[in-house]
């Protein structure tokens, strides 16, 4: 870590100019930022996260007009969404500008752009005055950080500086929307739903998770499509409402200390080997804000495994459901 001689914002800007890596706060999760025009910094970023080279990066910008620097043939829909929802938790997939490094786009002809909604990072982008690539600031495949402390825990020695910006207000990664085809398609669910986008654009919006395999384009890379993603280090199992004890029995977890997220209060049965039982809020926004923090905390606890109660199946829970599905341990 470098010693601070300037104020945090100026210091972060200087480091980015020198090709260094800076963890930055956003409203979704903390990102690991590098200069989008510096090939060496981009290499260092992939190395620091141990990120596979086939996984492209989001370029963070400060103003919708900057889209022209990174994308071509920008559809009207992109301008409409930018006006309505940026800065905010929405990433747009557009046709790549020829100057964008193929290392950023993992060799594809598309590029991901977003304006994050955090005052410090917006000020940083303005001062730096060009695009910043920023994947979530976690080792590849693991849970995204929602506080500076999470970054410190998992990436401390691989980051040149952490710009502290408090806990992230949304807590899960941005919605990713492809505008490459006529019909907009959600590639990753997030705080902004298909319904919201559809209402703004006045047209149907599909979600990649809901279309059949034969409708899928083979080459669309879908974020987090590796089998484990957004995953804690410990095994994570889902259990249905009122079936906690049955699940412990079924998985034979009686001798395993477990940490639990549930909507219900802790059961009284003293035979259960519960390390921590956290009662979760029924509001999906509040749940999302807390989820990764709890999973980080559980990874640090003396428990052996994590159990999470299944979520309601209504639309508002879809983005969180998607993260839990990918985080869970599948039993063969
Ligand atoms: O909320 C967020 O989006 C956070 C904050 C830091 O902005 N960033 C984030 O980045 O979640 P990352 O790299 O952890 O996830 C971005 C996802 C990747 O899984 C990648 O596959 C996808 O965006 N992506 C990037 N460029 C793409 C492209 N051209 N086409 C399809 N997906 C793309
Ligand atoms: Mg990530």
pLDDT in tens, 152-165: 999 989 999 999 99
Band the pLDDT of 231: cuts 50, 70, 90. confident
Q: Are 145 and 138 a contacting pair, CB within 8 Å?
A: yes
Dihedral sign, Cα of residue 73, residue 79, residue 146, residue 304: negative
Residue 67 Ramachandran class (φ > 0 left, ψ -120 to 50 alpha, else beta) = alpha
> Average pLDDT of 298-311?
96
CB atoms within 10 A of CB 112: 26
Q: How confident is the model at residue 43 (pLDDT cuts 50, 70, 90)?
A: very high
According to the model, what pLDDT value does residue 327 have?
93
- The best mutation among 24, 28, 56, 67 to test binding of ligand 1, ranked by most ligand atoms within 8 Å of the C-beta, falls on 56
* Residue to mutate, 54, 112, 177, 220, ligand 1, most ligand atoms under 8 Å from C-beta: 112
Query: Quick check: 219 pLDDT over 50?
Result: no
Task: Give the ligand 1 atom nearest the CA of 170.
Answer: 1
Rounded distance from Cα 65 to ligand 1 centre (Å): 20
pLDDT for residue 331: 67
List of long-range contacts for 313-320, beta carbons under 8 Å, 24+ apart: 315/193, 315/195, 316/193, 316/284, 317/284, 317/287, 318/189, 318/193, 318/207, 319/172, 319/175, 319/189, 319/190, 319/191, 319/193, 319/288, 320/172, 320/284, 320/287, 320/288, 320/291
pLDDT number for residue 263: 98
Q: Does residue 2 carry a pLDDT above 60?
A: no
Q: Point out the ligand 1 atom lying closest to the alpha carbon of residue 58.
A: 25
Output the pLDDT for position 210: 74
pTM tops 0.75: yes
pLDDT tens for 240-278 read 999 999 999 999 998 999 999 999 999 998 889 999 999
- Ligand 1 atom 12: residue of nearest CA: 135
Percent of the chain past pLDDT 70, that is, above it, reads 92
Ligand 1 pocket, CB under 6 A: 26, 28-29, 31, 55-58, 91, 93, 105, 108, 110-112, 116, 134-136, 173-174, 176, 187, 221, 223-224
Q: What is the pLDDT of residues 62-120, one digit of tens each?
A: 999 999 999 999 999 999 999 999 999 999 999 999 999 999 999 999 999 999 999 99
Q: List pLDDT tens digits, range 319-328.
A: 999 999 999 9
Q: What letter does residue 72 receive in the DSSP assignment?
A: E
Q: What is the pLDDT of residue 220?
A: 52
């Amino acid at each position: 870590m470098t010693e601070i001689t300037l104020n945090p914002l100026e210091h972060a800007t200087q480091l980015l100019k020198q090709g260094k890596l800076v963890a930055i706060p956003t409203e979704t999760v903390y990102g690991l930022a590098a200069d989008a025009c510096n090939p060496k910094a981009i290499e260092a970023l992939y190395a620091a996260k141990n990120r596979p080279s086939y996984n492209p990066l989001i370029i963070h910008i400060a103003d919708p007009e900057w889209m022209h620097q990174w994308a071509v043939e920008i559809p009207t829909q992109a301008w409409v969404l930018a006006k309505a929802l940026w800065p905010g938790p929405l990433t747009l997939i557009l046709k790549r500008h020829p100057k964008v490094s193929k290392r950023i786009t993992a060799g594809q002809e598309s590029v991901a752009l977003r304006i994050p909604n955090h005052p410090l990072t917006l000020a940083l982008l303005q001062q730096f005055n060009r695009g910043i690539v920023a994947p979530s600031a976690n080792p590849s495949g693991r849970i995204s950080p929602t506080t500076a402390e999470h970054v410190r825990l998992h990436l401390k020695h691989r980051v040149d500086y952490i710009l502290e910006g408090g806990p992230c207000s949304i807590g899960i990664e941005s919605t990713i929307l492809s505008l490459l085809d006529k019909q907009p398609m959600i590639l990753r669910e997030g705080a902004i739903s298909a319904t919201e986008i559809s209402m703004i654009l006045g047209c149907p919006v599909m979600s990649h998770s809901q279309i059949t395999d034969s409708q899928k384009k083979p080459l669309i890379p879908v974020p987090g499509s590796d089998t484990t993603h957004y995953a804690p280090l410990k095994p994570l199992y889902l259990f249905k409402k009122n079936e906690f004890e049955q699940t412990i029995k079924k998985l034979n977890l009686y001798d395993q200390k477990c940490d639990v997220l549930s909507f219900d209060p802790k059961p009284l049965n003293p035979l259960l080997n519960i390390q921590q039982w956290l009662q979760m809020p029924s509001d999906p926004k509040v749940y999302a804000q807390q989820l990764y923090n709890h999973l980080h905390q559980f990874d640090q606890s003396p428990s052996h495994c994590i159990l999470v109660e299944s979520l309601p199946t209504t639309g508002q829970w879809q983005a969180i459901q998607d993260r839990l599905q990918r985080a869970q341990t599948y039993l063969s």
